[in-house]
Amino acid sequence: MSDPVPPRRILVTCDAVGGVWRHALDMARALAPHGIETVLVAFGPEPSVDQRQEARGVEGLTLLWFDHPLDWLVADETALDGIPAVLDGVATLYDVDLLHLNYPSHARGLQTVRPVLVMAHSCMATWWAAMRRGETFAEDAGDLPDAFALNARLVRQGLARADRVIAPSRAHAHAMRVAYGPLPGLAIVPNASFAESRAAEPEPSEGGPVALAVGRWWDEAKNAATLDAAAALASIRVVAIGATDGPQGQSVAFAHAQARGALPAQETRAALARAAVFVSPARYEPFGLAVLEAAQEGCALVLADIPTFRELWEGAALFVDPHDAEGFAAAIDRIAGDPRLHALQAAAARERAAAYDPDLQAERLLALYADALATSAARTPLAETA
């Protein structure tokens, strides 16, 4: 039997407003040395000039943008009805071997016979389970409000169309199974990030040690209230990077944490490299790319005690109940006030971060891609001619 054949060109979907953009570009960078070209199809808000420039710097990547909405911002199913024709057309025009969709709803309605893999980064149903039912994962999905139920229908339709489903953590895979039932070909492939190479150690933050937090703070799940309350109690500055105003009128204000707003990726990495402690009080987090970037930059980690963070960072972080502002302040002060403990925690975090390396991610994806292609070839021997 011949060895599985990996793809030579893949179609990947993303948006330009959050972590999926970073994930998609890093994934393309990791796959390029294996001879794989990426056709990156962005939906939602148009990528910025800086983002387009960044995409041009990724070997073998072609960026396309189409003005179709994201599934969590639509009012009815028909708003996404134009996406299947776009993806089928791009897949044919660029002669891709498979589709890797970073929104499961992008798979709904596809006509292509090419393998379709979907990555379940997050969804409104699992957000609701974590944020509204009083448990991290609850079994009853009947209490979803209309907008959340709509999103769940769109995601469910996409999952049913997919050949493989990928989750970035076992915890999120469990949440998805609770929300949607059995998932076809489920695999766990943790997210990854390229560690920044620096010619010299960054200058320390002015005014002494800093605890840094990164997130879309308008999202209630990021738990800005607990972070702000902890900032009022901690003996060192707590700085929050990230947007405070959301696309649907959401808004949050910090009274004690120093809010710096959304920053470009390079500036955020530089701030992480200067920080002593990284803090995340998130109540819902399928993976947490900012945590990984902080660990790579030498931060000690103080994280919410939720299943995802326990799975990924057990033994390499201090954990605090996400509602316990005093506990977060105490953990921040404990690390910041003890150089030996800080060095141990930072080293443990950096060592664990090596497990989420882009090369390892690429190896896992290549195996999934090859298997999907082999299965598709056995099931559909005739090549697509449309």
Residue 158 has pLDDT above 60, yes or no: yes
Whole-number percent of the chain with pLDDT over 90: 83
Mean pLDDT of the region 256-281: 95
Residue 94 has pLDDT above 60, yes or no: yes
Model pLDDT, residue 203: 55
Q: Tens digit of pLDDT for each residue in 102-132?
A: 999 999 999 999 999 999 999 999 999 999 8
With bands split at pLDDT 50, 70 and 90, how would you rate the model's confidence at 383? very low
Average pLDDT over the chain reads: 91
Q: Which residues contact 343 (CB under 8 A, 6 or more apart)?
A: none
Bigger pLDDT: 145 or 348? Answer: 348
27 plus 169 within the same structural domain? yes
362 plus 347 within the same structural domain? no
Q: Is residue 27 part of a domain?
A: yes
CATH label of the domain that carries residue 306: 3.40.50.2000
99 plus 48 within the same structural domain? yes
250, HSE (Cβ side, Cα atoms, 13 Å) = 14
278 close to 294: Cβ distance less than 8 angstroms: yes
Starting at the edge strand found earlier in the chain, the sheet holding 98-101 runs 61-65, 37-43, 9-15, 98-101, 116-119, 164-167, 187-188
With bands split at pLDDT 50, 70 and 90, how would you rate the model's confidence at 248? confident
Bigger pLDDT: 303 or 197? Answer: 303
- Reading the block at residue 276, the tokens are 């002593």
Q: Is residue 245 part of a domain?
A: yes
Nearest Cα to Cα of residue 193 among 214, 164, 222, 171: 214
Mean pLDDT of the region 301-306: 98
Tell me which DSSP letter residue 323 carries.
Answer: T
With bands split at pLDDT 50, 70 and 90, how would you rate the model's confidence at 139? very low
Model pLDDT, residue 204: 58
Q: Tens digit of pLDDT for each residue in 281-291?
A: 999 999 999 99
The count of domains in the chain is 2
Mean pLDDT of the region 173-195: 95
174 plus 39 within the same structural domain? yes
Tell me which DSSP letter residue 218 carries.
Answer: T
Model pLDDT, residue 11: 98
- Reading the block at residue 129, the tokens are 């389970």
User: Domain of 313?
Assistant: 210-355
270 plus 146 within the same structural domain? no
128 plus 256 within the same structural domain? no
Q: Is residue 32 part of a domain?
A: yes
Nearest Cα to Cα of residue 333 among 238, 192, 200: 238
Q: Is residue 203 part of a domain?
A: no
With bands split at pLDDT 50, 70 and 90, how would you rate the model's confidence at 157? very high
Nearest Cα to Cα of residue 181 among 160, 195, 166: 160
Model pLDDT, residue 206: 61
With bands split at pLDDT 50, 70 and 90, how would you rate the model's confidence at 134? low
Residue 367 has pLDDT above 90, yes or no: yes
341 plus 361 within the same structural domain? no
Q: Tens digit of pLDDT for each residue in 192-224?
A: 998 865 544 555 556 679 999 999 999 999 999
144 plus 61 within the same structural domain? yes
Whole-number percent of the chain with pLDDT over 70: 91
Burial letters for 19-37: b for 16+ Cβ neighbours within 10 Å, e otherwise?
Answer: bbbbbbbbbbbbbbebebb
Q: Is residue 1 part of a domain?
A: no
- Which ranges of the chain does DSSP label H, i.e. alpha helix? 19-31, 49-56, 83-93, 124-132, 146-161, 170-180, 224-233, 265-274, 289-296, 307-313, 325-336, 339-353, 358-379
Mean pLDDT of the region 226-255: 95
Q: Which residue has the tokens 């902080």?
A: 294
239 plus 116 within the same structural domain? no
156 plus 289 within the same structural domain? no
The two most distant CA atoms of the chain are separated, in Å, by 67
